[in-house]
Structure 1
Amino acid sequence: MRFFKVFLASFLAFVVFAVLSIIVLSVLIGKALTSEKVTISPNGVLVLETGQAYHEQKVVNPLGALMKDEPAETPGLFQTIRLIENAANDDNIKGIYLKVNGNANGFASNEELRNALIRFRQSKKFVYAYGELMDQNAYYLATAADKVYLNPKGIVDFTGFSSQITFFKGALDKLEIKPEIFYCGKFKSATEPLRETQMTAANRIQTTQFLGELYGNFLQGISKARNVDTATLHGYANENLIQEAADALKYKLVDGLRYDDEVVNELKTKAGIKADEKVNFITLGKYNNGTDLSNGTGDSKIALIYAQGEIIGGESDHDNMIASENYIREIRKVREDKNVKAIVFRVNSGGGSALASEIIWRELSLAKKVKPVVVSMGDYAASGGYYISCMADSIFAQPNTLTGSIGVFGVLFNMQDFFKNKLGVTFDGVKTAQYADLGSMGRPLTEGEKRFIQNSVDSTYGSFKSRVVAGRKLDPAIVDSIAQGHVWSGVQAKELGLVDRIGGINDALVCAAKLAKLSSYRLREYPEVKDPFTKLVKSLGGDVSTSMVKKELGVNYELYQKVKEVQAMHGVIQAKMPYSYSF
């Protein structure tokens, strides 16, 4: 009897403790995330940092807020663009101070931000940029400013673009792991790191082509902003002429060499602030908290659906995953909502599961039958990312979007020799049918099994091409010639008919409104951002684990990610970009 009394008392204490913990945690979250409405005072200068990574949707970070080391909310890319547009018409904002140190964003995202800054300048308000260590992507964004200043001891990286691939074949050979590879398209190079020790000729050709396109866009933008012709700019990089801050000034890449305090004093003069007064700097987060962005008026709505990350089957609660079941629900919801008159599908993905891509394509095709669907492409909309885009009424891409990569592949790993010779592990078993253990890592595939898998890959590739033929209204022979897994820039894709127009999210929204014959509408964004409590619980789990791994591995974290990606390929037919490009 005494045991039960102790047990019940302990259990009751645990329940009380758990309930109180939840209450306290909820209060802390509320305090961390719910701040009083900020009032934007006059003579403000909006501060933007190029090192800030902008996801497609806003990022809620309750754990960072609780620990006081990160903001509770980081605006998404389109939200940031809208805030910049709002600031152009806000009498309390005199200009923008662009702090240029690194750039965590992709090329197309950078283009969206740069165009927003250029439009902001049309309001006759100033944009001043200052940096100490400007990488090329950050410098490109800085050239949207009226004035670009560099620390007298600072550096502007101006050495040109390069692309480097990590090859695993040598390591797999040493480990006696034999990948069994199946693919369609001579340019479909996603499996090259597993089967080659260097780039194939076809991959070298396509990478050279699109890298040249991206670099050409980079030079053209800077040329127009700095009034230096592209050939001269290319010469600077080719001869490595920009080695010190004085070189950047000499060759007109910057307007002056200043320290931060000197730039701030110049901002005071520009903003009409007295020398003995402080500049009213307003961070993007503060401005977001003090600004009510209008989502439009009326009953008619346009749904803006964000699709960012790898395409996978089933469900996922991860922010950067395009899980087929999740997106079926979201697309079906807006398809069946009679007040939603058009859909803008924002794609920022290098692809993933071919089957999951087909499932999402199907749901979007059903939506297209009842209302216009317009696609806006981000940094990537390639392979599976293009699969889920090709059915749209109209497709917009930035000139430096990477798209296409129409091709598929499959990989299985024969690890029999690895387990036997390296670990002393062997496998044996029984089966009720000849192919019941097809795909096992414990044995090699038979020739018949290899034919089965290649047939499946060929069939999936044929389906992918047929979706492009129907969606883009192109001749099958043309699609076959521009498919083959070939990666294209946005400019190239437009010339080939894979993309309709060069433009950003705003352009896609204007197009959608026009197709739906809307003179006014309300904007509604999907998927809905998770509530703070759910987000915190997730942060205390997976996000913390990820942060710990990143901290422990440091610069090796990227290699760790690549190894995990290779593991995830096993047995799943992929419509995925060759790899993540880093320039």
Structure 2
Amino acid sequence: MKGFFNHVLASMLGTFLVLIFLVIINIIVFVGILSSSGAFSDKEVKVTENSVLTLTFKNKIADRSSVKPDLSTMKIKKTLSLKEVTDAIKKAKDDDKIKGIYLDLSILNVGIASVEEIRNTLKDFKTSGKFIIAHSDFYTHKSYYLASVADKIYLTPSGVVQFSGLSAQLMFFKSLLENIGVEPEIIRHGKYKSAVEPFMSDNMSDANKEQTQKYLSSIWNSILTGIHNQRNISYEDLNKYADELSVTGSETAKKFNFVDDLKYEDQIIKELKEKTGIHPDDELSKISLSDYINSGKDFEELLKPKKENIAIIYAEGEIVDGEGTDEQIGSESLAKIIRKAREDESVKAIVLRINSPGGSALASEVIWRETVLAEQAKPLIVSMGDVAASGGYYIACQADTIVAEPNTITGSIGVFGLLFNAKKLLKNVGITINTVNTNTYSDMGNPGRKMTDYEHGKILQSVEEIYSTFITHVGEGRNLPTDSVDAIGQGRVWSGEDALNIGLVDILGGLQTAVDIAADKAHLQTYGIKYYPEKDKLSLILENMLSNTKSSLIEGELGEAYPYYENLKKIKTISGVQARIPY
């Protein structure tokens, strides 16, 4: 017995020492990352006189900011939020030390709807009389659209402006699946619900071509309108240049007034010095976007609780059952957050920011219920990002007001179910499956056999019921007859501008527009902002240090192929009937 207790105590002591060792190692790594990132630096970020705010978008701009350690470089990688970017531009407008903005657009890692919001904020900045200069080696449609707001647009000599119009390509897998012996079994409601088309056909359906052409044309026209208004190039000429590929190089870009001149970066720096009154031999006073965001922050004021607040709840990613991850919208986690904001007496209105292609229909229903309760308690405003479609629209439809950008992708009111019969494939590779059931259909969904007509009918019944519930919710939330919702539903995708015309959206604008509407409906003159999900930065860094190490290493190894790896992981998690795009 004595030996037994000695063994137990030794095991407990060993476990305790290992835990202590792991904690020490994590602290060392954590402190190392903070040290290398400058977190312990005494250097305070200050804005000097005659400064130029430099905006670069090489790193992703997300709806919600995040802080993650990069273990390969031992540095902290911070993702700025869209609101941080737009707030910084607004701050610079009234900051006497900032004389203008320099847009470095060689890389633009921002979604099209977010570009719209940044562009509108820059237009407002120009009303101060301060300058905006844009420069790039290569302008894409998106980056040129953002650059078009500038007073001067410059292109590197021998640089390129892409201007050929928008295009969408879909890949189809039907023949591939047939060749390997896999049969997709598809149940859907909505002739436009084309998320399953790649598995059931080798070509786009007429309905899918129609909707794709419609929303692409709407987004393209929005881009042309912005360029026309800022560069004074007619719609006819813009489409002609795109049709004829007239803007093939830097000289033609200048000839057709897409850019004002061809300049290298050192020439841009020289011009910026002239505009800010700095001697040619002196260093240009530039401040980066991230430094400017951190400059002059009153952390005591930020942490000070406000009596009246507007809650901004971020719902970003695919919609899944349960808790989900930081990159997903978990039904349980988001429902809890909405409930918390509803029950918080200091929160007078809620802005739900949605950037989601949809996902699980059941998860969407769980979240929808909480939006109903929230809307009954206080103003609920939805702000749509780059995409808020299918399940993303499901969780939006109950809001008092829905705000979207003209180029937001939304709608896709439809549902589908997708199973695969891999019996032939398994046989070809020498695999057999033996099944023992307690009931007739216990193995429904078994990939080793074809679905029976009875099973197909039952799943179809479920899909039809979910679709009926979906359009009923939309009808009630949008005050539209169910038949009308069905007519604009059927899985059809709409741009934000078209969605406004058919009643799925109330007003065009960005996140700030939604916040302003929330403040007005709650009769607030001054207010604080509460952000959800709530996480203190220390917890966030430690959490990501432990959970994202594998992903960070894989991402570094795969590089540009990493998104495909992420999509494969998502396919593994799909279960139940789905309300998602594409499309």
Which TM-score band applies after superposition, normalised by the shorter structure? over 0.9
Q: Which residue of 2 aligns with 1:271?
A: 276
User: Are the aligned partners of 2:112 and 2:407 in contact in 1 as well (CA < 8 Å)?
Assistant: yes
* 1:113 and 2:118 aligned: yes
Does the CA-based 8 Å contact 1:46-1:97 persist in structure 2?
A: yes
Letter of the 1:355 counterpart: L
**Gap runs ≥5 in structure 2:** none
Structure 1 position 164 matched with structure 2 position 173: no
CA contact (8 A) 2:32 2:74 kept: no
Structure 1 residue 242 corresponds to structure 2 residue 247: yes
The question of whether the paired residues in 1 share the 8 Å contact of 2:71 and 2:552 is answered with: no
Equivalent residue number for residue 193 of structure 2: 188
Alpha-carbon distance between aligned partners in 2 of 1:222 and 1:130, rounded to the nearest angstrom: 16
Conserved 8 A contact 2:352-2:383: yes
| Gap change, CA 1:366 and 1:297, over 3 Å in 2 | same
Q: Judge conservation of contact 1:26–1:533 (CA < 8 Å) in 2.
A: no
Q: Distance in 2 between matches of 1:8 and 1:339?
A: 47
SS of structure 1 residue aligned to 2:494: strand
The alpha carbon displacement at 1:533 in A equals: 4.8
Number of the residue aligned with 1:411: 418
- Say which SS state the counterpart of residue 345 (structure 1) adopts: strand
Counterpart secondary structure, 1:191: helix
Q: Give a deviation string over 1:438-487, Cα, whole Å, max 9, x none.
A: 11112111110000000000000000000000000001111110000000
C-alpha RMSD of the superposition: 2.3
Mapped partners of 1:44, 1:85: distance in 2: 15
**Contact 1:311 1:321 survives alignment (8 Å):** yes
1:517 matched to 2:523? yes
In the alignment of these two chains, the number of paired residues is 572
Aligned residue number for residue 303 of structure 1? 311
Choose 9-18 or 441-450, whichever is displaced more: 9-18
Report the secondary structure of 1:61's partner residue.
Answer: strand
Please name the residue that 1:573 is paired with: 577
Match of 1:18 among 3, 22, 29: 22
TM superposition score normalised by structure 1: 0.93
Match of 2:62, SS state, is coil
Q: Given the alignment of the two structures, is residue 207 of structure 1 paired with residue 212 of structure 2, yes or no?
A: yes
Partner of 2:427: 420
Which digits, 9 at most, give the CA deviation of each residue in 1:344-384, with x for residues without a partner? Answer: 11111110111111110100110111101000111001000
Find out whether 1:46 has 2:30 as its counterpart.
no
Taking the aligned partners of 1:340 and 1:222, their CA distance within structure 2 comes to: 40
Matched, 1:455 2:429: no
Deviation of the 1:158 alpha carbon: 0.9
Q: Structure 1 residues 446, 35: closer, same or farther in 2, change over 3 A?
A: farther
Distance 1:298 1:431, change over 3 A: closer
Taking the aligned partners of 1:297 and 1:224, their CA distance within structure 2 comes to 43
Paired position in structure 2 for 1:487: 493
Q: Any unmatched runs of 5+ in structure 1?
A: none
Residue 27 of structure 1: aligned partner: 31
- Give the counterpart of 1:129 among 121, 124, 134: 134
* Partner SS state of residue 392, structure 2: helix
SS in 2 for 1:369: helix
Opposite residue 300 of structure 1, the aligned amino acid is E
| Gap change, CA 1:559 and 1:63, over 3 Å in 2 | closer
Spell out the pairing of 1:320-339 with structure 2 (5 A cutoff): 320-339=327-346
CA distance in structure 2 between the partners assigned to 1:381 and 1:502 by the alignment: 14
Question: Among 398, 412, 416, which residue is 1:391 paired with?
Answer: 398
Distance 1:170 1:102, change over 3 A: farther
- The answer on 1:357 being equivalent to 2:364 is yes
C-alpha contact 1:60 1:532 (8 A) present in aligned 2: no
Q: Deviations over 1:364-420 (max 9, x none)?
A: 110111101000111001000000000000011100001000000011111122112
Q: What letter corresponds to residue 361 of structure 1 in structure 2?
A: W
Q: 1:204, CA displacement in angstroms?
A: 0.3
1:174 to 179, 184, 203: 179
2:292 match: secondary structure: helix
Letter in 1 for 2:376: K
2:484 equivalent in structure 1: 478
What is the CA–CA distance in structure 2 between the aligned matches of 1:496 and 1:126, rounded to whole Å? 39
2:464 maps to amino acid:
D
Match of 1:526? 532
Kindly indicate whether the alpha-carbon contact (under 8 Å) linking 2:33 and 2:74 is maintained by their aligned counterparts in 1.
no
Percent identity (aligned): 42
CA contact (8 A) 2:360 2:579 kept: yes
Change (3 A) 1:87 1:453: same
Change (3 A) 1:16 1:302: closer
Which whole-Å deviations, capped at 9, do the CAs of 1:235-255 have from their partners, x for residues lacking one? 111100111111100000001
Does the C-alpha gap of structure 1 residues 187 and 530 become closer, same or farther in structure 2, counting only changes over 3 Å? Answer: farther
CA distance in 2, matches of 1:114, 1:488: 22
CA deviations on 1:73-126 (whole Å, 9 max, x unpaired) are 332001110011001111221111100113222211110111111111111111
1:373 aligns with one of 380, 399, 405: 380
Partner of 2:514: 508
Measure the CA separation in 2 of the matches of 1:372 and 1:13: 53
Partners of 1:73 and 1:380 lie apart in 2 by: 23
- Is 1:436 equivalent to 2:449 in the alignment? no
Taking the aligned partners of 2:363 and 2:136, their CA distance within structure 1 comes to: 43
CA contact (8 A) 2:137 2:155 kept: yes
What is the distance in 2 between the residues matched to 1:413 and 1:552?
31
Please name the residue that 1:319 is paired with: 326
The whole-number CA distance in structure 1 between the counterparts of 2:104 and 2:175 is 43
Q: Secondary structure at the match of 2:505?
A: coil
Decide whether the 8 Å contact of 2:60 with 2:80 is kept in 1.
Answer: no
Deviation at 1:196, TM superposition (A): 1.1
CA contact (8 A) 1:40 1:287 kept: yes
- How far residue 552 of structure 1 moved from its aligned partner, in angstroms, is 4.5
Check 1:377–1:144 CA distance in 2 against 1; reply closer, same or farther (3 A cut).
Answer: same
Structure 1 counterpart of 2:87, from 65, 77, 82: 82
Q: Name 2:288's counterpart in structure 1.
A: 283
Q: Conserved in 1, the CA contact under 8 Å of 2:70 and 2:552?
A: no
| SS state at 1:545 partner | helix
Q: Is the 8 A contact 1:331 1:364 kept in 2?
A: yes
Deviations 1:325-355 (A, max 9, x none): 1111111111001111100111111101111
Contact 1:490/1:499 (8 A) holds in 2: yes
Structure 1 residue 532 displacement after superposition: 3.5
Work out the CA distance in 2 between the residues paired with 1:435 and 1:278: 76
Find the aligned partners of 1:48 and 1:529 in 2 and give their Cα distance.
27
CA–CA distance in 2 between the matches of 1:237 and 1:147? 22
Report the residue type matching 1:443 in the other structure. Answer: R
**TM score, norm. by length of structure 2:** 0.93
Mapping of 1:554-569 within 5 angstroms?
554-569=559-574
- State the distance in 2 between where 1:228 and 1:188 align: 37
Please state how far the C-alpha of 1:292 moved relative to its aligned partner.
2.6
How far did residue 72 of structure 1 move?
Answer: 4.1
**d(CA) in 2 for partners of 1:23 and 1:563?**
34
Q: 1:292 to 1:461 in 2, by over 3 A?
A: same
Per-residue deviation, 1:529: 3.6
CA distance in 2, matches of 1:370, 1:6: 57
Q: CA–CA distance in 1 between the matches of 2:397 and 2:46? A: 44
1:549 CA displacement: 3.8
Q: Does 1:141 align with 2:146?
A: yes
Higher mean alpha-carbon deviation, 545-554 vs 485-494, is at 545-554
State the alpha-carbon separation in 2 of the partners of residues 155 and 35 from structure 1.
41
> Matches of 1:204 and 1:193 in 2, distance apart?
13
Q: Distance in 2 between matches of 1:360 and 1:229?
A: 46
Which of 207, 217, 222 is the equivalent residue of 1:217?
222
Q: Residues 391 and 537 (structure 1 numbering): CA distance in 2 closer, same or farther, change over 3 Å?
A: closer
Matched, 1:401 2:408: yes
Matches of 2:523 and 2:236 in 1, distance apart? 45
Which position in structure 2 is the counterpart of 1:232? 237
